[in-house]
Amino acid sequence: MALISVEYSNLYPVLFFDEQKANNFFQRIFRLHEHKFKGVLSVVFLDEEEHCKLHGRFLKDYRPTDVITFQGDSESEMVGEICVSVDKAIEESKNQNLSFDMELCLYLIHGWLHLVGFDDKSEIDRTLMRREEKNVMCIIEKDELWPDFVLAQNLQEG
């Protein structure tokens, strides 16, 4: 039995994924970096407009960003919440020449690393976080645990 379960809120109408594959992805990450709380991790997929509103409301910055992470607490049995901008993942996957699936997974890994104590405010912390993101991505690649995120318009292409 998993000590952390994942609840998905897909508010991006053309994003599709297999929840079981996404759960397998997260369970592998949970084994790499344990969290002090047990309970539910909420994962929310948003468009850029809603993501910017959230960013502004809680962080007083209305500029687009990729991931917003909220810490949970043991009393509510919430591990935390990871909110990702699907539009940002689409844009950055093109800019970075990565698959959309990999870019979105990178955001989820980044959010989880924040929840377990990594930070990216200073240059040193950012370097450590980027190194760990790459490490986790390599493990996910080796274990073939991609959730296979796909956009509806891409379903017709292939």
Q: What is the pLDDT of residues 74-131, one digit of tens each?
A: 788 899 999 999 999 999 999 999 999 999 999 999 999 999 999 999 999 999 999 9
| Residue 1 pLDDT | 40
The pLDDT, as a whole number, for residue 68 is: 95
Beta bridge partners of 151: 15
CA dihedral 48, 52, 55, 57 (to 10 degrees): -140
Q: Are 58 and 71 in contact (CB under 8 A)?
A: no
Residue-level pLDDT at 58? 87
| Local confidence band at 154 (pLDDT 50, 70, 90 cut-offs) | low
Contact criterion met (CB below 8 Å) for 54 and 42: no
| Topology given in CATH for the domain delimited by 4-144 | Collagenase (Catalytic Domain) (3.40.390)
Average pLDDT, the chain: 92
Confidence grade of residue 59 (pLDDT, cut at 50, 70, 90): confident
**Domain coordinates in residue numbering, the chain:** 4-144
Token pair of 66 as six digits: 């990729």
For residue 92, what are its two tokens?
Answer: 């950055």
Q: What is the pLDDT of residue 94?
A: 95
